[in-house]
Amino acid sequence: MPEVNNWQLGRNMAYRFDAAYPERQFAFVFNINRCLACQTCTMACKSTWTFSEGQEHMWWNNVETKPYGGYPQGWDVRILDLLEQANPGGQTWDTSNAGTDGEFYGRYDGMTIFEAAKAQGGQQEAIGYLPADEEWTAPNIYEDTARGSKGVPGRYGAGEALPEHNTWFFYLQRLCNHCSYPACVAACPRNAVYKRPEDGIVLIDQSRCRGYRKCVEQCPYKKPMYRATTRVSEKCVGCYPRVEGSDPLTEGLPMETRCMSVCPGKIRLQGLVEIDPKTGDWKHDPQNPLYYLVKQARVALPLYPQFGTQPNGYYIPPRWVPREYLEQMFGPGVNGAIDAYTRPPRELLAVLQLFRATQTIIFRYEIREGPKVRDAVIGGQPWEMFDDTVIGYDSQGNEVANVSVLEPFIERPRKYLNSL
C-alpha cells in the first residue's frame, strides 16, 4: 500500500492511492467559542441542496451539542471505539519534538482508520460502520444537554468554575472536511468519489455511483449519505459553483459557501490555501488569513486528526471545556490554541475581525496599525489591545474587507431620535 505524508500526524501513513495534491485546497476555520446554535448554516445548506424527496434525513451541514449530541448519533464515539478495539491503549501522541522536523503538533503513535483496517486484515480500506436508519433521524438530539449538571454529587453550584467549567457543553459545527486523504475516495470500489485538482473539493460522480454505501460506511465523519429514491450516495459539494466563481452571484470571484456566508455568530472563515505539490503541506503564505490562524497563530486545530484523513476543517476550541476531552477531539495543540485565543497577540486580534466581513474569499490581508486602547491583565499576565484595522483582498488583489478592532461608535443626531 502506498505511503503518504500526513503533516497533521507528523509522519507517513498508509493510504490506498499514491499522493496527489490539488493546487489549492478548500479549507475553513470555525470559532466554536462564538456559535449560538441558531442553525442558520444548517438551513442555508438544506434549502440550497437537500430539499427534495429522498433527502429528508440529509443535513450536509449540521451543528450538534457535545458531548452527547451527534449526527448520526454517536458517530465519533463509535469510530474512537473501533480504533481502540484495533489498537488497545495505543492512540497516543509524542509531543517531545512538536514544532520540529515536520512534527507540527507532534507525532501520532496510534493507528489511523486506514492502518487499523489493514491490521485487522479485512476487506475495508478504513474501519467504519453503517449507521442504522434511526441514527440519522434526530440531528439535534441532546441539544443544550450539559455534562456534570445539577445533581452531580459535590458539583452542584460549581458549574461555572474557571478556567474549565464543571458543567459544560458546546456546539460542534460539521460539514464534509474535503479531506486530503479522503476515506470516502479510498472506500469506493467504483472510483466514483474524487477530489478536484483545482480546489480539493471532494465530489461523488452520481453517474458512476451504484449505491454500495462504502463511502457512508468508511468516512469517519459520516458525511456521505445514501438517498433511497435515487439509490446513490450524496455528500456536501462544497458549494463548488460559488467557490469556483461560476455562480452568477459571484461575478467570477471565488465566494464562500452558503453555510459560511450566512453565519450570524460570525464564527466561520473559509479560504483556499496553496498546497506544496511534493509534500501536500500548506505552502508558506503568511498573509493568507487561514495560513496565519492554523500555521502561525496555531489557534485553530483539525477535528480528530488521529483518524488520518487530514481533514481541512479547523476549529478554535471552546475555552471552558475540560482539556482531556478537547485533546481527544483536536489533538495535542489544544492548550496552546486556547492560550492564544484567551490572550490574543495583536495580529491575531486583527485577523479574527475578518470572520464574516465579506462573502468573497479572502486570499491576503494587511494590517494598518492603530492606537493602543486598553491595558489589561489576563491570566495573571499583562495584555495590550490596539485598535488596528485589518484589510482583506480577493483573488485579484481588490480590497473586499476593511474592519477595525473597535467597532465604530456612531451617535444618532437628536433630530433623528425615535425614527428609523
Chain residues that interact with ligand SF4, rule: CB under 6 A: 35-41, 63, 173, 176-179, 182-184, 202, 219, 221, 223-224, 235, 263-265, 267-268, 309
Between residues 225 and 403, which has the closer beta carbon with respect to ligand SF4?
225
Give the shortest CB-236-to-ligand SF4 separation in angstroms.
Answer: 7
Give the shortest CB-107-to-ligand SF4 separation in angstroms.
Answer: 22
Between residues 263 and 400, which has the closer beta carbon with respect to ligand SF4?
263
What one-letter code names the amino acid at 71? Y
Give the shortest CB-18-to-ligand SF4 separation in angstroms.
Answer: 18
Number of residue whose CB is nearest ligand SF4: 265
Between residues 301 and 367, which has the closer beta carbon with respect to ligand SF4?
301
Between residues 35 and 239, which has the closer beta carbon with respect to ligand SF4?
35
Give the shortest CB-233-to-ligand SF4 separation in angstroms.
Answer: 10
Give the shortest CB-318-to-ligand SF4 separation in angstroms.
Answer: 12
Give the shortest CB-127-to-ligand SF4 separation in angstroms.
Answer: 13
C-alpha cell at 86: 484495533
Peptide bond preceding 67: is omega within 30 degrees of 0, i.e. cis?
yes
Give the shortest CB-179-to-ligand SF4 separation in angstroms.
Answer: 3
Give the shortest CB-36-to-ligand SF4 separation in angstroms.
Answer: 4
Between residues 305 and 367, which has the closer beta carbon with respect to ligand SF4?
305
Between residues 41 and 405, which has the closer beta carbon with respect to ligand SF4?
41
Between residues 67 and 265, which has the closer beta carbon with respect to ligand SF4?
265
Between residues 38 and 146, which has the closer beta carbon with respect to ligand SF4?
38
Spatial CA neighbour of 205 closest among 222, 190, 218: 190
Give the shortest CB-356-to-ligand SF4 separation in angstroms.
Answer: 9
What one-letter code names the amino acid at 351? V
Spatial CA neighbour of 221 closest among 26, 116, 76, 319: 76
Give the shortest CB-320-to-ligand SF4 separation in angstroms.
Answer: 17
Spatial CA neighbour of 35 closest among 250, 316, 292: 316
Between residues 41 and 349, which has the closer beta carbon with respect to ligand SF4?
41
Give the shortest CB-75-to-ligand SF4 separation in angstroms.
Answer: 11
User: What does the H/E/C string look like for the chain?
Assistant: CCEEEECCCCEEEECCCCCCCCCEEEEEEEEHHHCCCCCHHHHHHHHHHCCCCCCCCCCCCEEEEECCCCCCCCHHHHHHHHHHHHCCCCCCEECCCCCECCECCCEECCCCHHHHHHHHCCCCCCCCCCCCHHHHCCCCCCCCCCECCCCCCCCCCCCCCCCCCCCECEEEEECCCCCCCCHHHHHCCCCCEEECCCCCCEEECCCCCCCCCHHHHHCCCCCCEEECCCCEEECCCCCHHHHCCCCHHHCCCCECCHHHHCCCCCCEEEEEEEECCCCCCECCCCCCHHHHHHHHCCCCEECCHHHCCCCCEEEECCCCCCHHHHHHHHCCCHHHHHHHHHCCCHHHHHHHHHCCCCCECCCEEEEECCCEEEEEEECCEEEEEECCEEEEECCCCCEEEEEECCCCCCCCCHHHCCCC
Which phi and psi (to 5°) does residue 305 adopt? Answer: -60, -25
Between residues 83 and 184, which has the closer beta carbon with respect to ligand SF4?
184
Q: How many residues does the chain have?
A: 420
Between residues 112 and 166, which has the closer beta carbon with respect to ligand SF4?
112
